[in-house]
Structure 1
Amino acid sequence: MTDKALAPDQELWRSWTPAELAVRLKTVSLPWCVVGGWALDLWHGEKTREHDDIEFTLLRDDFLEFRHALGDLDMYTAKAGVLTFLPVGQSPGLDIQQVWCFDPVAQAWRVDMMIESGSPEVWVYKRDGSIRFPRTEMLYLSSEGIPYLRPAAILLFKALHVRPKDEEDFHKTLPTLPDEEVAWLRRHLLKLHPGHHWITPS
């Protein structure tokens, strides 16, 4: 029997696609959305690059319902690079914002659950609680009906570290954005990251 206290290798990712994730969550009627690079590809309507993983957000109070929907997966809290097994039926502590989900049959990580604050009605930016909007303004739907975070907000998250893939995502996505999306991104970059090289002229 596998000792689940020993977390699997963190490189064993063979993630689901957004469509596969949506199938797994079809019985859940609570708020969730795809974030990260896959969210931008949902915006583009096609896969523009390879993705190491897939991330989606959910509200903390809803965790156990999502856990039930993904009940065949082993779950590990992720904090400061350390993965810790989360026993069946338990919710993560308030200091945890991320849970990785491992498929013991396929021996692969499938999805990264990101725990957000806010409410079913209000979306709150986790790095600055003063940035909040009606959830209906922040979530878009793909042509297949998959919810994802609006691209300007995805790029705002990516602006903090700007890895090569983030730079690639920015330059692919910016020309596709409507003026109001560019303005939203610019306004929040000026607030959080003044002087950032992604800030476009007004």
Structure 2
Amino acid sequence: MTRIETLWGPWDHAPLDEVVELFRGLAVPWWVSGGYAIELAVGRAYREHGDVDLSVLRRDQLAARRLLSGWDPHVAGVPGGLRPWEPEEVLPEEAHDIWVREHPDGPWRFQLMLDEADGDDWVYRRDPRIRRTLGTLTVEERGFRRLAPEVQLLYKAKGRRAKDDTDFAEVLPLLGEDQRRWLDAALRTEHGTHPWRARLRSTGPV
């Protein structure tokens, strides 16, 4: 685990298993996302992680907030940079990233992301033309669910960092033809051209 300093205090992320155990008490759908979703798809550890990401649908946010009643959750990416998420507060559409810690003097322990949905479809918040059925969004993993790797790669494709290219390279050989085709089409829709598209096509027909 890597301790990271930020303007709003240090990150010292909780072990993935501990965060998963906490969310087992949530009655609405949730899943592991971020870098750990890719690592779980690969089936082995291959890099360090600076945080743990879990996701829920925006429409289920209040159930998640109640689960976190004993924690100190804050909303990121809003005016002012970071502010408390008050109990029973419905967050505005622009808020999708929540930082969570045990108490105000402690380090940040994990992130909770809010995903968009339209009925039975997941909708990509950066480009609503990209969507898929909720039933295909996640994959069963040891009694919990993780985000499908092709969807996580779509999130990582914008503003690529070295770790995102590493995640792409590690999971690419494991993607089936349908997964590569979906990611190629999504990248084309959002970005037009993207360096990953050529590599997706080089591994087989898309």
1-side partners of 2:82 and 2:60: how far apart? Answer: 21
| Alignment correspondent of 2:113 | 114
Q: Which amino acid aligns with 1:186?
A: D
Which one is further off, 61-70 or 37-46?
Answer: 61-70
How far apart are residue 147 of structure 1 and its match?
Answer: 0.9
The CA RMSD measured in Å over matched residues stands at 2.1
2-side partners of 1:119 and 1:108: how far apart? Answer: 35
| Alignment correspondent of 1:131 | 130
The structure richer in helix per residue is: 2
1-side partners of 2:33 and 2:8: how far apart? Answer: 20
| Alignment correspondent of 2:169 | 171
Give runs of aligned pairs for residues 1-202 of structure 1, distance below 5 A.
9-79=7-77, 82-104=81-103, 107-119=106-118, 121-142=120-141, 144-199=142-197, 200-201=200-201, 202=206
Say if 2:42 and 2:170, in contact at 8 Å, map to a contact too.
no
Which one is further off, 55-64 or 8-17?
Answer: 8-17
Structure 1 residue ranges without an equivalent (≥5): 1-7
How far apart are residue 91 of structure 1 and its match?
Answer: 3.2
How far apart are residue 120 of structure 1 and its match?
Answer: 6.7
Q: Which amino acid aligns with 1:59?
A: L
How far apart are residue 100 of structure 1 and its match?
Answer: 0.9
Moved over 6 A (4+): none
How far apart are residue 105 of structure 1 and its match?
Answer: 7.8
How far apart are residue 125 of structure 1 and its match?
Answer: 1.0
| Alignment correspondent of 1:5 | none
Q: Structure 2 length as normaliser, TM-score?
A: 0.85
How far apart are residue 39 of structure 1 and its match?
Answer: 0.6
Q: Secondary structure at the match of 1:93?
A: coil
Shift in alpha-carbon separation, 1:10–1:176, aligned structure 2, 3 A:
farther
Say if 2:138 and 2:146, in contact at 8 Å, map to a contact too.
yes
2-side partners of 1:198 and 1:102: how far apart? Answer: 35
Q: Secondary structure at the match of 1:198?
A: helix
Structure 2 residue ranges without an equivalent (≥5): 1-5
Q: Structure 1 length as normaliser, TM-score?
A: 0.86
Q: Secondary structure at the match of 2:10?
A: coil
Q: Secondary structure at the match of 2:185?
A: helix
Q: Which amino acid aligns with 1:37?
A: G
How far apart are residue 106 of structure 1 and its match?
Answer: 7.5
Superposed CA deviations along residues 113-157 of structure 1, whole A, max 9, x for unmatched, are 111210573211111112221111111111x12211110111111
Shift in alpha-carbon separation, 1:69–1:196, aligned structure 2, 3 A:
same
For these two proteins, the number of residue pairs brought into alignment is 194
Say if 2:51 and 2:111, in contact at 8 Å, map to a contact too.
yes
Shift in alpha-carbon separation, 1:129–1:64, aligned structure 2, 3 A:
same
Say if 1:98 and 1:114, in contact at 8 Å, map to a contact too.
yes
1-side partners of 2:60 and 2:7: how far apart? Answer: 28
